[in-house]
């Protein structure tokens, strides 16, 4: 009944004023107490707000009922809606001339808590970096560190402790690490914080927890914002939505599978235990690198990352150059590619770099010519 009344009032906004937001009460009351009528424009804006409210209400009902009514073979509804609530208006979007805001699903909890640093609102690009960094670092069981710049990892490493993991991540690409976002999957103590702050400038530091001593140390660096991520485990939204000139593309989120379950060795020599561990590590990292993605790795450390290129040879060249710049191009190395290798060129170039094992999804017409 209430929704029907709101819709009816909004539909007749030329003669009816509909108010659904208590935040509008003060200015409306002030106008009426002054003996002034609401203008046609005022009533139109209030009607638009009312229709947004009822549309949001209907979307919530549809989202609740979809899992009940949908069958696997008919899981894509003819009409699609998301019930989003504005969380905050951002300073700007990906570029300064773009407006932007953060929306959440109804009831979606905040996962970040500011524990130190200035309270300047996070930017659009900050949120992209946080999402990339936390998604990547949460994929590892051992202590791990991920350094992200422009939503892509520049260095990733696992180690016996967070300090060593950070040092290995930083060494993988110290140039790109400047001003980056650093994420850990273990709590940080004073030693870890001081190691980072004494070595480089960072914008955001992410971890599941911080010791009180570490927070006290961070408070002396107000430009560095430290965020507690809780829970650290990846929480995947149901859908990914991308706007196109043709409309909107919607897909399920890329949830990690059992990384080792579908692997099989197809070369003449199977990988050694160390190679297999490094292949799995590099494969996980490749998920978070823009395609075409190439990751060179050794002993739980990325040695070179190349991505976002129109072909895999260029991505390998980028990864090779970064490894050489860091002095980490000595073999043995492993290589992960997020797509199949249609020609032997990547394999042949990788062999000259000391790559001894490669992981890739396969499926190319020339697979047998690529596999050695």
Show the DSSP H helices in 241-328 as ranges.
273-286, 312-325
- Using CA atoms in the order 360, 139, 184, 189, what is the torsion angle rounded to 10 degrees? -130
Q: How far apart are CA 259 and CA 251, in angstroms?
A: 21
Output 331 or 316, whichever has higher pLDDT: 316
What tokens does 317 get? 């060249």
* pLDDT at residue 368 in the model: 66
**Mean pLDDT of all residues in 152-170:** 96
Out of 45, 49, 56, 150, which one is annotated catalytic? 150
pLDDT tens per residue, range 212-223 = 999 999 998 888
Entry pTM: 0.81
- Is 56 a catalytic site residue? no
Residues whose CB falls within 8 Å of the CB of residue 68, separated by 6 or more in sequence, listed in order: none
What pLDDT score was predicted for residue 75? 65
Phi, psi angles (nearest 5°) of residue 327: 70, 30
Model confidence at 64, in pLDDT bands (50, 70, 90)?
confident
Q: Reply yes or no on whether the pLDDT at 278 is more than 60.
A: yes
Task: Find out whether 100 and 90 touch, Cβ atoms under 8 Å.
Answer: yes
- Is 150 labeled as catalytic in the residue annotation? yes
Q: What is the mean pLDDT of the chain?
A: 87
Contact 207, 184 (CB under 8 A): yes
Sketch out the chain's domains with CATH numbers.
2-69 (3.40.50.1380), 101-229 (3.40.140.20), 257-370 (3.40.140.20)
3-class SS shares of the chain: helix, strand, coil, % to 5: 35, 20, 40
pLDDT band for 170, please (50, 70, 90 cuts): very high
Instruction: With a cut of 80, say whether residue 80 has pLDDT above it.
Output: no
Highest mean pLDDT, choosing among 207-211, 231-235, 357-361? 207-211
pLDDT reported for residue 110: 83
Closest CA to 344 of 362, 304, 371, 319: 371
Task: Give residue 69's pLDDT.
Answer: 46
Per-residue confidence (pLDDT) for residue 62, from 0 to 100: 75
Residue 206 confidence (pLDDT) above 90? yes
Catalytic residue among 11, 56, 110, 118: 11
User: Given the DSSP bridges, would you call strands 180-184 and 144-149 parallel, antiparallel or unpaired?
Assistant: antiparallel
Give the pLDDT mean for 293-321.
94
The dihedral built from the CA positions of residue 65, 66, 68 and 74, taken in this order, carries a sign that is positive
| Residue 47 pLDDT greater than 60, yes or no | yes
β-sheet bridge partners, residue 158: 144
Q: How far apart are CA 108 and CA 122, in angstroms?
A: 18
d(CA 182, CA 204): 6
d(CA 148, CA 153): 4
Q: What is the mean pLDDT of residues 108-120?
A: 82
At 120-150, the pLDDT tens digits run 788 999 999 999 999 999 999 999 999 999 9
Q: Are 149 and 179 spatial neighbours (Cβ–Cβ below 8 Å)?
A: yes
What pLDDT is stored for residue 227 in this prediction? Answer: 93
Residue 176: its pLDDT value, please? Answer: 92
Q: Which residues 6+ apart lie within 8 Å of 64 measured at CB? A: none
Contact 309, 318 (CB under 8 A): yes
| pLDDT tens by residue, 225-259 | 999 998 776 666 777 888 899 898 988 877 766 56
Pairing between strand 101-105 and 152-158? unpaired
Cα–Cα dist 191/227, whole Å: 17
Q: Span 280-289, mean pLDDT?
A: 94
For 154, the token pair is 């520049």
Position 293 confidence tier, pLDDT thresholds 50, 70, 90: very high
């Amino acid at each position: 009944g209430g929704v029907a009344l709101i819709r009816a009032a909004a539909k007749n906004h030329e003669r009816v004023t509909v108010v659904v937001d208590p935040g509008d009460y003060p200015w409306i009351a002030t106008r009426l107490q002054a003996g002034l009528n609401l203008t046609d424009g005022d009533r139109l804006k209030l009607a638009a707000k009312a229709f947004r409210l009822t549309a949001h209400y209907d979307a919530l009902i549809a989202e609740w009922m979809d899992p009940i009514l949908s069958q696997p073979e008919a899981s894509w509804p003819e009409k699609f809606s998301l019930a989003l609530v504005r969380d905050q208006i951002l300073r700007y979007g990906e570029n300064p001339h773009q407006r932007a805001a953060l929306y959440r699903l109804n009831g979606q909890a905040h996962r970040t808590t500011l524990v130190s640093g200035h309270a300047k609102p996070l930017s659009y690009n900050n949120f992209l970096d946080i999402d990339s960094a936390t998604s990547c670092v949460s994929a590892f069981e051992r202590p791990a560190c991920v350094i992200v710049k422009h939503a892509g990892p520049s260095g990733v490493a696992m180690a016996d402790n967070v300090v060593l993991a950070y040092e290995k991540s930083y060494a993988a690409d110290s140039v790109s690490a400047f001003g980056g976002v650093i994420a850990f999957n273990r709590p940080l103590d004073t030693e870890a914080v001081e190691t980072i702050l004494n070595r480089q400038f960072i914008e955001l530091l992410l971890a599941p927890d911080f010791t009180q001593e570490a927070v006290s140390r961070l408070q002396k660096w107000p430009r560095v914002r430290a965020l507690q991520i809780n829970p650290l485990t990846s929480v995947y939204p149901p859908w990914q939505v991308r706007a196109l000139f043709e409309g909107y593309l919607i897909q399920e989120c890329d949830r990690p599978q059992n990384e080792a379950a579908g692997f099989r060795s197809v070369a003449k020599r199977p990988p050694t235990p160390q190679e297999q561990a490094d292949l799995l590590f590099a494969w996980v990292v490749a998920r978070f690198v823009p395609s075409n993605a190439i990751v060179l790795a050794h002993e739980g450390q990325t040695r070179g990352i190349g991505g976002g290129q129109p072909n895999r040879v260029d991505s390998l060249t980028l990864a090779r150059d970064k490894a050489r710049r860091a002095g980490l191009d000595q073999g043995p190395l492993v290589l992960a590619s997020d797509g199949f290798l249609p020609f032997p060129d990547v394999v042949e170039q990788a062999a000259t770099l000391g790559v001894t094992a490669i992981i890739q999804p396969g499926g190319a017409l020339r697979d047998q010519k690529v596999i050695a």
